[in-house]
Amino acid sequence: MPTDAMPRMRRISVGDIELAAHDWGGPADAPGLVLVHGLASSAQIWRLVAPRLIDGYRVVAIDQRGHGMSDKPDHGYDLATAVADVGAACTALFDAPPHLVGHSWGANVVLQHAAESPSACASVALIDGAIGDLAARLTLPEARERLAPPRLAGMPRHEFLARVQQHWPAAIWGEPIAQAILANVAVDADDRIAPHLTFERHLRLVEALWHQRPTRCFGRVTVPLTFVIAAPTEHAGTAAMVQQRRAAVAALPALAPHADIHWLADTLHDIPLHRPTTLARLLCTAAER
């Protein structure tokens, strides 16, 4: 399947809002697979992974509320609502429980959904998210400070892209990644950007992330559970984070003894864009467990 394929857009009613669903297709009789992006991201982060999955699955990526092409109300930026949104979307999209894949904050959402509604999904894959409890290492004020987004509203589009590009290996960066990044923002007539997820709503979701206890969810998941975890190249600036991740990963076998755990060295947090081929292979393996 060509990796430059584009999805069909659908709108899904969820309570008083509509979510955007990016339907990549797949065999009519294939199991469903739902992709859920992270905080301040969008369904476009899956644009290099989804085409690699549609030979065996019916693949749909959703924009969470306040993100991408979904509605952006001023309410519902909490874990319970995010979980309800995903559950309602899955019910609207598929007759049978689909496989669920979440990246970053999306991993926290699908994990909570699987813990609360074990029969509502066929398997769960957590992509560089929901590894441990944020509250175990940060106070709420610390989390709000460290996870607050940069103030990007009003920045020229070219300056925004140049800023993001600095964090990507030159050999990887290209138009597909640039387009995925631009899907996270609106661009006005003066070619200036504004994040779809506002600063204040972003902080509401940071608080939701802090209050969640993923480690209490692992044992409640009854379907196959897979972790795919990124380890950035270790240097002085990343050493503390890498060590922290290693400690969290070391604790996972005791907390989730039946989970498969994959550690990707020299990999950025945005695994779906950085390692799409590897991730697609791991997701197929996860869904077939």
- Which candidate, 8, 18, 64, places its Cα nearest to that of 41? 64
**55-64, 228-237, 250-259: range with highest mean pLDDT:** 55-64
Sign of CA dihedral 165, 275, 103, 179: positive
Q: What is the mean pLDDT of residues 204-219?
A: 98
Per-residue confidence band for 198, with pLDDT thresholds at 50, 70 and 90: very high
Tokens representing 129 are 């998210």
Per-residue confidence band for 6, with pLDDT thresholds at 50, 70 and 90: confident
Q: What is the mean pLDDT of residues 60-82?
A: 98
Residue 233: its pLDDT value, please? 76
- Which candidate, 90, 88, 38, 87, places its Cα nearest to that of 64? 38
In this structure, are residues 141 and 117 in contact, taking their beta carbons and an 8 Å threshold?
Answer: no
Per-residue pLDDT tens for 82-139?
999 999 999 999 999 999 999 999 999 999 999 999 999 999 999 999 999 999 999 9
Per-residue confidence band for 232, with pLDDT thresholds at 50, 70 and 90: confident
**234 pLDDT higher than 90:** no
Per-residue confidence band for 239, with pLDDT thresholds at 50, 70 and 90: confident
Residue 237: its pLDDT value, please? 65
Q: What is the mean pLDDT of residues 169-173?
A: 93
| 230: β partners | 264
**176 pLDDT higher than 50:** yes
Indicate the pTM of the whole model. 0.95
Q: Which residues, 6+ apart, have CB-to-CB distance to 50 below 8 Å?
A: 7, 22, 24, 35, 59, 61
**1 pLDDT higher than 50:** no
* Pick from 7-11, 166-170, 239-243: least confident: 239-243
**240 pLDDT higher than 90:** no
Q: How far apart are CA 29 and CA 70, in angstroms?
A: 27
Residue 213: its pLDDT value, please? 98
Residue 112: its pLDDT value, please? 99
CA within 13 Å, CB half, 17: 24
Give the chain's domains with CATH numbers: 8-149+201-287 (3.40.50.1820), 150-196 (no CATH)
What mean pLDDT is reported for the chain? 95
Could you give the percent of the chain with pLDDT greater than 90?
A: 90
